Structure 1
């Protein structure tokens, strides 16, 4: 080996050793960084929470839910395509106000009056779960309300409730909406709902026995299938629009300031079959909801509860509640869960504070 070759070899070995040691040194000096997951809050997905107070499934009022989550009732998730806001409510637990049912639901912070209203709520959602138990003869079993108009005054009745309901073993469920009369007089015990089908059946289609279910609806909505609603109230008229890919768009109109149920003869056949037999046979005041402050609600208002059907065969489901243990109910499907992808609200300039409603019910 000549002197030049020997010198080159020594230079190569020095450089190789230095590079290897330096590489090892860098590896020790710069360990892998841990990946961190940023919390996505509901107020980032549907940024309209300045307009609402959030009622949780334990009956508490969480207030304005900006940058807020509760892993039992209210949080966000991603289905691989979009972020969604999750509203979850067990069959039993502490409830809000005088209701028998749990809810994780937004309640509008302002109220408006139907005669002068120009107010609107829109939402796109999918129902992910309804109670796995209940009584098929009880109309409210296996159902959840996903949007409402509620009265803050008088009897605090509800001119609108939007339902999703699916019987066990069925692939498709039904979407329908209710109008509840604003009962004439001081006694509200005679109030009743009238149900209108959107896709599938209405509220009145029930089973013949506790665990015998009616035929599956032909044009129903499956769990996890998206649909949208629009609610607009203007100059005393409520306009509803329901859309879902692959289904016929449905629209409805209802007058909120002039009743069509002012005499016993006006009570519809559906009500005569469903509510009159249990003593809910009232009539409505002629001016309906005129003069009462109304407000929107949105979320998961679970209609299935553990109360005995002997109390009320339309609303008391006798479902499993595990004594109110929330985690046990979640473990075996005894809860309602609704995901919202988008939502928006338009509030008229005439709307006023709804603090009185919360003061009465919180």
Structure 2
């Protein structure tokens, strides 16, 4: 073959090889740039996952009030996560630490910035959530041990009692826990020390099912909810009537109603048997005023209100759990499971035109 032809062919091969390599190099650079661009992590805040934070102030597990929590996170108490399918808002709070207001219990919880009056209300709260942890320790005889409240209606006025608390509770050796809700009487008179709760089971047991001694647990509920299992609630108050709806895949949908402006507990004879068992023996034997929560501003709460604390059961057999708190050391409590953690996937709030500012509540309690 002619030497010039060979040289030309060789030159063409070299040129083509150079072009191919250069093209590949360019494509790799381009791919790397795309990867970098696509891989840029955009911070996902709770307000991106559930865009309703203009309606709430956030209380943290150290007792502080963050205020409106748009574009906010706190690595100890309030942040977002992804379970491989969905983004979730995490509310986490220890057994022991600084608390908000007069409560014995820590909370990482949203409190509504407005209050509404049950008689004229047309207000609604919805949520889909899963409880990921409840306290690893507590006294099994104490009804509040191993429990967390995930939604509330709270009064902003007078006694500041709670016409609704939605609980999740699971004993340490059980796979399934219970979901139940409470109505707390709005105690007649000026002395609120006789107030008590009445508990209604949704799935599993109610509040009154406790252990026979501090480390012996009752039978596991057959229709309960496991940690990490999703459920939803809808709370609606309209014209004085509270309607509650509970949903969970594989479980029966439950619906309840409660009149918030006409009491059914106005005499001692009206006190239910459950209350006689739990509260009357410790001196909480009050009656409710006839018009219940009528005339009082009420507001929603949502999050993780830990019901397990380190106070001695000798102080109150229903609410003082004697759980491990490591002297308030949050890191140690988180390390050995002495905390409550609740993840919310969706939530919504509807606020009526009759609602007014709830700032007075925060001024009194912050």
Question: Is the TM-score greater than 0.5?
Answer: yes
Distance 2:349 2:260 in 1: 19
5+ long unaligned stretches in structure 2: none
- Kindly indicate whether residue 288 of structure 2 is the aligned counterpart of residue 284 of structure 1: yes
SS in 1 for 2:92: strand
Question: Residue 314 of structure 1 corresponds to which residue in structure 2?
Answer: 318
Does 157-166 or 246-255 show the bigger shift?
Answer: 246-255
- Kindly indicate whether residue 99 of structure 2 is the aligned counterpart of residue 107 of structure 1: no
- Deviations along 1:112-162, one digit per CA (max 9) or x if unpaired, are 000111101011111000000000000000000000000000000000000
**TM-score (normalised: structure 2):** 0.95
- Kindly indicate whether residue 210 of structure 2 is the aligned counterpart of residue 199 of structure 1: no
Task: Identify which of 52, 58, 64 aligns with 2:56.
Answer: 52
**TM-score (normalised: structure 1):** 0.96
- Kindly indicate whether residue 225 of structure 2 is the aligned counterpart of residue 225 of structure 1: no
Question: Residue 216 of structure 2 corresponds to which residue in structure 1?
Answer: 212
SS in 2 for 1:62: strand
Distance 1:343 1:323 in 2: 34
SS in 2 for 1:349: coil
Question: Residue 340 of structure 1 corresponds to which residue in structure 2?
Answer: 344
SS in 2 for 1:106: strand
Question: Residue 6 of structure 2 corresponds to which residue in structure 1?
Answer: 6
Distance 2:229 2:26 in 1: 52
Deviation at 1:10, TM superposition (A): 4.2
Task: Identify which of 150, 156, 162 aligns with 2:160.
Answer: 156
Distance 2:213 2:21 in 1: 79
SS in 2 for 1:105: strand
SS in 1 for 2:198: strand
Distance 2:11 2:83 in 1: 58
5+ long unaligned stretches in structure 1: none
Distance 1:249 1:72 in 2: 34
Task: Identify which of 85, 97, 103 aligns with 2:101.
Answer: 97
Distance 2:107 2:131 in 1: 14
Deviation at 1:7, TM superposition (A): 2.8
Question: Residue 119 of structure 1 corresponds to which residue in structure 2?
Answer: 123
Task: Give the length in aligned residue pairs.
Answer: 362
The aligned runs of 1:1-362 (5 Å cut-off) are 1-12=1-12, 14-15=14-15, 18-19=18-19, 22=22, 32=32, 35-362=39-366
Distance 1:99 1:181 in 2: 17
Instruction: Evaluate the alpha carbon distance shift between residue 84 and residue 21 of structure 1 in structure 2; reply closer, same or farther with a 3 A threshold.
Output: closer
SS in 2 for 1:341: strand
Deviation at 1:45, TM superposition (A): 1.1
